[in-house]
Amino acid sequence: MAENNTTREVPSVMEIFLPPILMLVSCSFGVCILLVCRFERFVKRLRSKHSTTNKDFEVYHIETFSSQQTVDLSKYKHNVSSVSFLSNFDLEVLKALQSFSNRPSELLRIGLPAVVTICLGPFAMLFYHSTTEFFWPKDKYPQLPNNNQCVSCFLTPAGLVYAISFGFAFSSALAKQSDILTKVTEEISFIDQAATLTSKLKFANNKIRMEIYHAIKCEAIYMMLQIENRKASSFVNKPTVDIKVAIWEVLGLLQNKNHSDDHHVDDVMKKYLIDYISRLNNICSDDLSVLHSRTHWLMWVFLITLGFFSLYGVLLIQASSYRMELMMCTLTLFSISMLCYIVSDLDSPFSGFFRIDISIIVDVIYRLEVMHKMTSLGFEETVCYPDSSRFQQKRYNSKADMNDTVYINSEEI
């Protein structure tokens, strides 16, 4: 690259290809870290099967709930809950959600733009010597002319367009992830508040309350399907109800006759509950949402091409040392690759390093399950927030595990 009397020094093939190869190895190591973390969570769930069972969870929370209020425990002693809250379809959706983030295929898709960039960069640098020979033949130019001023005139507009384009792509991906986080947070909040209001309303019988819990659960399952970008028909087990409209069954249930001593507060809570349901419908009824929209491949071609235009300008810079010139070219290539990866990572909100944590949805489902269990056992007051530290390892894998019969031992309470 640099001049040395009549000799034009150029880097060797090893010097050109070694840094990108090391960069690829480092990126692969980072992807392996994500996969190892995902595998460790899977191992912990397997180990939890031997340390804590679903029956232990149910007994623990029912005993804790009973110890916080005065109840006739003989009424619940050896009471059997035969009501199934989660169907086989629900369990399959939950299991799919627990292994949804950081799938190898998704990580490969995220890293594809950066890998393409870092693989094409060394080949672009290989053509530098032939390019300079074409523009400045040795017979006419024994020494390469100092064209840094010309290169600066080229790099200024090229770098400006490059920076603006990547800045626009970065801000768009970041804004999309922020919008999705707001959308998911609002929906989880409405589901949680709807469950709390249901636990406080007075009904003629507990069956109505249980059916409302079931309708709210269906809305949470529908939310999971949207996150997983799958249809209900794609699962082996099929839903027993239409989960898209199951939440509206709450309106019919609220029209049932309640206790005669209803307070006006119940009417206010009903109004808020209906409002939450309406807002939930506005959030999750849009099947054409931005949850799974991705940057078009033509945009990636445009961004990578602009990056290589800037790289070509850096190739022409003369620093009186071919090693220094090679270093500048390599760092420019790394910066283009890293920008491609960051934009691609942000463009995938549920995978990669910068992803939205969706594990709270499983916690919401478990809270609904516990409150439904309380109602089926005859408790009048069912509002509770189960201790998350006790059910972090709760596993939704098989129907048999979820149907363990729960017995309440009054001596332990």
131 is a domain residue: yes
Question: Does residue 2 lie in a domain region?
Answer: no
Work out the angle at residue 200's Cα, subtended by the Cα atoms of residues 195 and 204, and round it to the nearest 5 degrees. Answer: 105
Residue 398, domain member (yes or no): yes
pLDDT at site 107: 84
Does some domain include residue 408? no
Structure tokens that stand for 195 in this block:
């469950």
Count structural domains, the chain: 1
The string of pLDDT tens digits covering residues 278-297 is: 777 766 655 545 677 788 88
Give me the percent of the chain exceeding a pLDDT of 90: 7
State which residues form the domain around 394.
7-402
Q: CA distances (Å), 53 to each of 38, 81, 215, 327, 403, in order?
A: 22, 17, 26, 57, 11
Where are the alpha helices (H) located in 259-395, listed in sequence order? Answer: 264-284, 297-315, 322-347, 360-376
Residue 386 falls inside a structural domain: yes
pLDDT range class, residue 38, cuts 50, 70, 90: low
What residues contact residue 83 under an 8 Å CB cut-off, 6+ apart? 210, 372, 376
Closest by alpha carbon to 345, among 39, 109, 22, 80?
109
In a domain, 409, yes or no: no
In a domain, 200, yes or no: yes
Q: What is the pTM of this model?
A: 0.76
Instruction: Tell me: pLDDT of 395 over 50.
Output: no
Checking if the pLDDT of 83 tops 60, the result is no
Query: Does 390 fall in a domain?
Result: yes
